């Protein structure tokens, strides 16, 4: 199926308050993951791998770093029609408010899309981790003569209360939909998800927030200014009036909704066989090519650790951790269960050897456990950060504790001997 018929829209999400402080200075899609990528690279790479190369990213909060990343990363041939463009919320004569929801974001940007030639619009979320071939979904959409297709994933009862849950008939047409059902309602929403899924107790079909709309229907729906959200309003209203089908996906998918899910998704990359496979050549994840030197490691015991480019590591031990680009870790330091995002630049040597300056990276004889270190952190010598459920949620100028995970803020300076 030709990607030329498809226009992809990636929704940048709102303020990202549940990912605070990682979203204090950047939008949610620009949050660094896996030591070298940004969240937005995931849906864009899925599109490129599916030969869909006309992509808009809609955003309204802290969009400067996202703009910069996309401008520096996604360069297509001068002779192709491919592009990745950021559309920030803008005031127009017909509208002077922020995006009020997912559908409102598409509606406010609609005048940019109308001039383009497309038959189908693929609408994606900018804060999910998965690898999916959208062509399969598009082929099913055309075969079913659907007007809307929704990607769905089987989930268990515990997770079902956090998602939009739907039911289908034997042909896959969606017959009913409920947003975040209460636990006592769940027995009514059990679906036939297939033998393998049912063995795992995954009996409910959850919407993944991935939609394909026929152009004609989308343009008609967008003329109604009262509908603000796809999941809460447009999809439930369309089920009775239009051909709405489910496309069941059974691969790995996770929603990066809060600090805990973000932390687990990153540390999951250190597993022997990670559920999110960065090593699949047919499912390449693209990002900014930085031309960094190789990583240098001296005297360090490494166990289940992912290390990105350009690092200088002299630590004693690093275990079950993700170490991001340009990270520096000094001697006799132990790092466990930690995601260190790395740095945006290298510090001059004179700053590193100056005893009066806390250098970027992690100093000597530190102990760091259950932590996320945002970009450009400066952690002094003999610092102890011991995250865990014994810590209650709190926030200071330099760090935040969420669900027992200590998040050191971007550019924070933690002095020698500091203990959390």
Q: Give the CA diameter of the chain.
A: 70
CATH number at residue 16: 3.90.550.10
Domain stop point among 217, 236, 270: 270
Residues 157 and 232 grouped into a single domain: yes
Position 283 scores a pLDDT of 92
Residues 239 and 302 grouped into a single domain: no
Average pLDDT over all residues of the chain: 91
Rounded-to-integer distance, Cα 145 and Cα 142, Å: 5
Residues 73 and 36 grouped into a single domain: yes
Which of the pair, 224 or 399, is modelled with greater confidence? 399
Residues 91 and 182 grouped into a single domain: yes
Q: What is the model's pTM?
A: 0.93
Which of the pair, 149 or 198, is modelled with greater confidence? 149
Rounded-to-integer distance, Cα 314 and Cα 353, Å: 15
Position 244 scores a pLDDT of 95
Residues 143 and 12 grouped into a single domain: yes
Residues 235 and 373 grouped into a single domain: no
CATH number at residue 370: 2.160.10.10
Residues 243 and 118 grouped into a single domain: yes
Domain stop point among 220, 241, 270: 270
Tally of domains in the chain:
2
- Dihedral sign (CA 198, 200, 201, 206): negative
Residues 27 and 92 grouped into a single domain: yes
The mean pLDDT value for 92-96 works out to: 63
- What domain range is 336 assigned to? 291-414
The mean pLDDT value for 331-355 works out to: 94
Evaluate whether residue 65 is within a structural domain.
yes
pLDDT tens figures, 308-321: 999 999 999 999 99
Task: Return the minimum-mean-pLDDT range out of 62-66, 272-276, 371-375.
Answer: 62-66
Give the CA distances from residue 347 to residues 35, 272, 314, 361, in Å, rounded to whole numbers and listed in that order.
Answer: 19, 34, 17, 10
Backbone dihedral angles phi then psi of residue 296, each to the nearest 5 degrees? -115, 125
The H or E element containing residue 349 is helix 349-352
Evaluate whether residue 420 is within a structural domain.
no
Rounded-to-integer distance, Cα 53 and Cα 275, Å: 26
Position 82 scores a pLDDT of 92
């Amino acid at each position: 199926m030709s990607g030329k018929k498809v226009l992809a829209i990636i929704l940048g999400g709102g303020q990202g308050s549940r990912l605070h402080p990682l979203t204090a200075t950047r939008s949610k899609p620009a949050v660094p993951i896996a030591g070298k990528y940004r969240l937005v690279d995931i849906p864009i790479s899925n599109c490129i791998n599916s030969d869909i190369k006309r992509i808009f990213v809609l955003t309204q909060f802290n969009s400067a770093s996202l703009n910069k990343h996309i401008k520096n990363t996604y360069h297509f041939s001068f002779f192709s029609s491919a592009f990745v463009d950021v559309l920030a919320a803008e005031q127009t004569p017909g509208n002077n408010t922020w995006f009020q929801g997912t559908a409102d974001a598409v509606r406010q940007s609609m005048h940019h899309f109308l001039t383009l030639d497309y038959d189908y619009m693929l609408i994606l979320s900018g804060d999910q981790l998965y690898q999916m071939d959208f062509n399969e979904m598009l082929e099913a959409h055309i075969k079913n003569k659907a007007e809307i297709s929704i990607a769905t994933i089987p989930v268990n009862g515990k997770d079902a209360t956090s998602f939009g849950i739907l039911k289908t008939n034997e042909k896959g047409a969606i017959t009913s939909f409920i947003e975040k059902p209460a636990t006592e309602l769940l027995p009514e929403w059990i679906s036939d998800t297939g033998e393998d899924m049912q063995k795992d107790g995954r009996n409910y079909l959850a919407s993944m927030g991935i939609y394909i709309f026929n152009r004609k229907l989308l343009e008609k729906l967008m003329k109604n200014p009262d509908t603000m959200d796809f999941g809460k309003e447009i999809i439930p209203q369309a089920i009775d009036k239009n051909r709405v089908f489910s496309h069941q996906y059974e691969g790995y998918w996770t929603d990066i909704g809060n600090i805990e899910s973000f932390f687990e998704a990153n540390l999951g990359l250190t597993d022997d066989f990670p559920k999110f496979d960065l090593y699949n050549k047919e499912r390449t994840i693209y990002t900014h090519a930085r031309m960094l030197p190789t990583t240098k490691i001296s005297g360090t015991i490494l166990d289940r650790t992912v290390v990105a480019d350009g690092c200088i590591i002299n630590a004693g031990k690093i275990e079950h951790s993700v170490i991001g680009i340009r990270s520096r870790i000094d001697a006799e330091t132990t790092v466990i269960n930690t995601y260190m995002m790395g740095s945006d630049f290298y510090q001059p040597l004179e700053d590193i050897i100056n005893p009066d300056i806390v250098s970027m990276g992690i100093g000597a004889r530190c102990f760091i456990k259950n932590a996320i270190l945002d970009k450009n952190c400066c952690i002094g010598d003999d610092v102890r950060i011991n995250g865990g459920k014994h810590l209650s949620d709190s926030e200071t100028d330099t760090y935040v504790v969420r669900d027992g995970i200590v998040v050191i803020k971007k550019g924070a300076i933690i002095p020698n001997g500091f203990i959390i």
